[in-house]
Chains A and B, each alone.
Chain A
């Protein structure tokens, strides 16, 4: 089944403790992206990747890092999480930037 898999689904962590949210897709998509969704603010793009080793900032990249060493994986790294990063995070992939996206099921992160 074609899908984007994110882990974990839920995570509660403490301020400053580094964490990684994994994202993997099995569709051989070139384009991958991370979004965060917050009430009243909608979905905002954090980072995106056009292909392996090609990443770029979205609208809200501060406090996040990404890497794209393999085509299928696009992890999101929070080096020192803060409470304002409490959010619902989505990974998405697509054949190309302008095509329809396939989304993962989301990761609900709480930073206390």
Chain B
């Protein structure tokens, strides 16, 4: 069963612009993670935010979490063509020992 749902499904921006992707989920979570996938390749873990955290930064990435709204956002600042990829949020609920992925946002950064 899908837990996270990303929005938008696809996003196209110019190099240098910021990209914001959103994730909504349905049940309580222990943590939420974001991953990147280049076309057909393995997913790469970007950042993990725990349920008691509200914001986290890693390089050009900024993640926020609002547990009252059951939503998270991923902001990529000053995007580059190399950021072109699909981005997935994944939730970990704790009781079922698994990470449940959304269907992803396809980000295209045009040079």
Contact = CB atoms under 8 A, between A and B. Distances in A.
Interface of A: 4, 31, 33, 35, 40-43, 45, 48, 50, 56, 58-59, 88, 90, 92, 97-106, 108
Contact of B30 (A92, A98, A105): A98
B43 A90 contact: yes
Contacts of A97: 92, 97-99
A72 B42 CA distance: 18
Contact of B97 (A43, A50, A100): A50
A103 B86 CA distance: 15
Nearest to A88: B40
B1 interface: yes
Given A48-B98, A98-B92, A106 B40 contact: yes
B33 interface: yes
B45 interface: yes
Given A33-B98, A43-B101, A97-B97, A59 B1 contact: yes
Which range contains the number of B residues in contact with the other chain?
A: 20 to 34
A70 to B, nearest CB: 20
A4 B92 CA distance: 21
Nearest to A41: B103
Contacts of B88: 42-43
A43 B88 CA distance: 10
16 contacts: A43-B88, A43-B101, A45-B98, A45-B100, A56-B97, A59-B1, A88-B40, A90-B43, A97-B99, A98-B92, A98-B94, A99-B48, A101-B33, A103-B42, A104-B42, A108-B40
Contact of B43 (A58, A99, A103, A108): A103
Given A43-B43, A90-B43, 4 more contacts: A40-B103, A45-B100, A59-B1, A100-B45
